[in-house]
Amino acid sequence: MDLSEISKSGVKTRIIASMAVFSALYTVLRLIPTVPMIGVSGSFSLSDILAPLYGVILGPYVGGFSVILGTFLAIGLGRPVTFMLLDFLPATINAVALGLLIKRKWMPVVVLYTVLLAAFLLNPLSRFLVQVPLGNSAFSFPFAWMHIVAFVVLLSPLGRKAAQWVETLKTANVAKGLAIMAFIGTMMQHLMGNLLFEGVLGQILGSIPAGAYPGIWATVFFVYPWERLALIVFAVVIGTPLVRVIKKSFLPFKA
* 112-145 confidence digits (pLDDT tens): 999 999 999 999 999 999 988 877 788 899 999 9
Q: What is the structure's pLDDT at 250?
A: 57
Q: What is the mean pLDDT of residues 65-72?
A: 96
Q: Is 254 exposed, middle or buried (0-12, 13-18, 19+ CB in 10 A)?
A: exposed
pLDDT, one tens digit per residue, over 174-209 is: 999 999 999 999 999 999 999 999 999 999 999 999
**Where do the structural domains in the chain lie, given as residue ranges?**
3-249
pLDDT of 14 > 90? The answer is no
Q: What is the pLDDT of residue 251?
A: 53
pLDDT at residue 1 greater than cutoff 60: no
Would the pTM of this model clear 0.85, i.e. be above it? Answer: yes
Q: For residue 8, what pLDDT band results from cuts at 50, 70 and 90?
A: low
Residue 5: what pLDDT? 43
What pLDDT, in 10s, does the model give residues 196-253? 999 999 999 999 999 999 999 999 999 999 999 999 999 999 999 988 888 776 554 4
Categorize the per-residue pLDDT at 66 as very low, low, confident or very high, splitting at 50, 70 and 90: very high
Q: Is the domain defined by 3-249 classed in CATH 1.10.1760.20? A: yes
More reliable by pLDDT, 77 or 169? 77
Tens digit of each residue's pLDDT (9 = 90 or more) over 142-156: 999 999 999 999 999
Q: What is the mean pLDDT of residues 47-65?
A: 93
For the chain, the average pLDDT equals: 89
Determine the pLDDT at residue 235.
94
